[in-house]
Amino acid sequence: MMLHRGIKFVHAAVLAYSVVLAFLFLRSMEEDWVLGHSAVVWVTDSDNSASGSQVARVVAEFAQEQKATVAREVLDLKDPSSRRHLYLAPGGPRSSWLEDGYPTFNRDYRTDVHPVADLGLRDPRGFYYVFGSDQAATSLTRTFTDLGLTAKVYQPFSVAQLSSEYGGSALYRSFFVVALAVVTMTGAGVLLNAKAYGVLRLQGKSFGQILRRDLRQLAVFWSIAFAAVAATALLLLGLYNKLAWIGTFTLLALGATLLLGLVALTTHAAMLGLMSQTDVLSALKGELPARTAAVCAYLVRIPALLLALSIASAVVLAGQDVLARQESSQVYAKAGATTSIAFNGSLASETGLHALEKNVGPWLSEADKDGRIIFAGHRRIRGLGLEDLMKRDVLIVNDSFLAAQPVLDSSGHRHNPAATDPEQVRLLIPRSLARYAQPLREQVPGLLNPANPDVVKAASVQTVWSKDNQRVFTYNPSGQRRDGENPGADDSLVTDPVIIAFPNGSPLVSDRLYIDYASQSSVVFPDPDDVTAGVTKHRLETYVMSMTPVAQNAADILRDLVTDFRLQLFNLAVAVAVLLITGVGVCIVHSRKNAQAIFARHISGWAFVTTHRPVLLLEGLLAVFLAGWLPFQVWQQNQDLARYEALGIPAPRPAAEVTGLDLGVTVALVAVEVAAVLLALVAFHRRIVKEGATQS
């Protein structure tokens, strides 16, 4: 008597999924961190008592003394999204990389290795990978402190850091969706084999003996499936990256397999234990303790419903974002080589940020005055207490922006790209917002020069009107929204923005504003050679770490979103499958327990709804619960805003709303849930009636 094929499918799927999960996770992780390190020392500040070359020499000596390898990471200036440089001080593990190169797992991401001496005069602030003991990382931190540097040890591969980094990702969510599917399909497989287990019990087999028999059969199946999956994985990885980091990959795959395998085995044993509670004659009919089985089914069904609702909403939003970005990619193609810059993220201290403003701010201001940059700051207005304005985009731009991106006035003619006065600020307001002109004018000084708004005089602000229903290109695909309204959505094209335009290089604009918006990729250079020339001329290698064409940046984000969207679709498909299986499982338990009663009621003329009232009532309550879940969540979020209103404080974000999209997703899931149960009930009802009629 063999195991049910559904159980074998579950374990084969666990093996295959674990391999795919390990591949995707390791591939993603390598884009963020160099693999194989024991710790990362992050240097965030310097008192400038030690030069970059002195720090490089000390690091080289430290590596030899401590028998550890230390590597400084530097992103590639022109290709930061797919290339980095490691400056290696050999002394311990991974020293061979200097000769053999870094063994790349993700072949789309390149890591070049250089001697640490090649760092030259580069500023010492940044990430230092330590390949050795944890004590070596702590000792390196003390060494940096002696050199006047501020440093701290981090463990990027620790459970806490990984949970924080990947906790909300589609990859992380997929693990729990699959775990739910494993529970559901394993339970269904054991349930569908109930009569066979009844025969074994009739033959005198105990619960323990039946479980051991199943485990022996699973062990045979596992040995075959494991060998097949492992051979396939090795072949594909050999073709993909020549088996780079195969040890790490194997540990990740085995870890996922162990966790999901334990879930499957635990569910298997629990279902066998549940069936052992019935008498042998009932077991031969495939019956289960109806109440306990139904409770178990709903313990899986309810979280699966909520998870499916969450995933479905994420899928729809991600799909809309992908479509929007595909549309905006046509506009990016016209941007040509226009390039944004990124700053050294290790300049996190107050002194580092001050140095960034002091050294880079004047360069950007000078470049603006010479017409070599396009300023396209993007934000939302806060503090007016006006709901309509809180949902409006505000662009802070220079004359070069208006020259590159035509904005029409209310009569349909293009606004003059250049201001008539070097201290004039133009406030371009769509005609539909004319009634808010005064409060918007009052916001201009604080938006244009937050550090010193008084320098912007009210008389210098000129209000002009723009045509309604205009879409304006912002050069930025990242999505700068941080107000809870679809954060991260594509902001490349905005409709009817309020625009604050200042003359190129205006003295009213602070260096801090240039830095703030450049750090958000909102200051771009039409000619990328101006970036490299400016960095070299002003010796800004410490501050400007990379430059990326805005079109490439948009393409990279779209690629990542498409990958995430596909994974979200997989999650949704699995979650819906769990719903269908649990719905069918509830119907199986109900039908087997009440088969005789169902037949008797049928021939007595009972209506279908009356016959199956308990199941339909529970499913109805579940549908009502699901339908009310999203409005309840929205209501709960808006309670926080009510507290702000009670205190007389402007709300930090617009009130959450139940949109038509939300309602559509909820209705679709409710329809799937109800339809699955109804169809299953009809099928089992007909089967019971047919079998009852044959026996009579």
* Three-class HEC string of 489-528: CCCCEEECCEEEEECCCCCCCCHHHHHHHHCCCCEEECCC
Mean pLDDT of the chain: 86
Residue 618 scores a pLDDT above 70:
yes
C-alpha closest to that of 515 among 302, 358, 282? 358
Domain span at residue 387 reads 345-542
In a domain, 524, yes or no: yes
- Structure-derived torsion over alpha carbons of residues 596, 600, 605, 607, reported in degrees to the nearest 10: -20
Tell me, what DSSP letter sits at residue 181? H
Residue 648 scores a pLDDT above 70:
no
Q: Which two tokens stand for residue 69?
A: 């390898």
Residue 429 scores a pLDDT above 90:
yes
Euclidean distance between CA atoms 688 and 7, whole angstroms: 26
In a domain, 62, yes or no: yes
Q: Which of 122, 155, 188 is the last residue of a domain?
A: 155
Write down the pLDDT at residue 289. 62
Q: Which of 155, 176, 198 is the last residue of a domain?
A: 155
In a domain, 131, yes or no: yes
For residues 644-649, give the mean pLDDT: 57
Write down the pLDDT at residue 696. 53
Phi/psi-derived region of residue 689, left when phi > 0, alpha when psi is between -120 and 50, beta in every other case: alpha
For residues 585-597, give the mean pLDDT: 79
Q: What are phi and psi of 26, to 5 degrees?
A: -65, -35
Write down the pLDDT at residue 54. 93
Measured CA distances, 565 to 23, 105, 312, 323, 426 (Å)? 17, 23, 11, 11, 41
Q: Are 493 and 472 in contact (CB under 8 A)?
A: yes
Residue type for 447, please?
L
Task: Identify the weakest region by mean pLDDT among 82-91, 328-337, 419-428.
Answer: 419-428
Tell me, what DSSP letter sits at residue 478? S
252-303 pLDDT per residue, tens: 999 999 999 999 999 999 988 887 777 676 666 655 666 676 777 778 888 8
In a domain, 170, yes or no: no
Residue 526 scores a pLDDT above 90:
yes
Write down the pLDDT at residue 543. 92
Q: Are 84 and 182 in contact (CB under 8 A)?
A: no
Write down the pLDDT at residue 602. 83
Q: Which of 155, 187, 214 is the last residue of a domain?
A: 155
Tell me, what DSSP letter sits at residue 276? T
- For β-strands 461-466 and 471-473, DSSP reports them as unpaired
User: What's the predicted TM-score (pTM) here?
Assistant: 0.84
CB atoms near residue 696 (< 10 Å): 7
Write down the pLDDT at residue 484. 39
Q: Which two tokens stand for residue 618?
A: 């529970």
3-state secondary structure of 128: strand
3-state secondary structure of 375: strand
Write down the pLDDT at residue 538. 92
> Strand locations in 532-576, DSSP E?
544-549
- Structure-derived torsion over alpha carbons of residues 71, 75, 77, 81, reported in degrees to the nearest 10: 150
Q: Give the total number of structural domains in the chain.
A: 2
In a domain, 27, yes or no: no
Q: What is the CATH number of the domain that holds 79?
A: 3.30.1240
Share of the chain above pLDDT 70, in %: 91
Residue 481 scores a pLDDT above 60:
no
Euclidean distance between CA atoms 288 and 590, whole angstroms: 9
Confidence at 384, pLDDT banded by 50, 70, 90: low
Confidence at 74, pLDDT banded by 50, 70, 90: very high
Write down the pLDDT at residue 243. 96
Radius of gyration of the chain (CA): 32
Phi/psi-derived region of residue 463, left when phi > 0, alpha when psi is between -120 and 50, beta in every other case: beta
In a domain, 109, yes or no: yes
In a domain, 4, yes or no: no
Euclidean distance between CA atoms 325 and 557, whole angstroms: 9
- In this structure, the chain runs to a length of 696
Which residues face 46 on adjacent strands? 149
Measured CA distances, 190 to 184, 212, 265, 268, 272 (Å)? 10, 14, 11, 7, 7
In a domain, 205, yes or no: no
Q: Which two tokens stand for residue 273?
A: 């234990």
Tell me, what DSSP letter sits at residue 78? S
Residue 541 scores a pLDDT above 80:
yes
Write down the pLDDT at residue 657. 67
Q: Are 109 and 82 in contact (CB under 8 A)?
A: yes
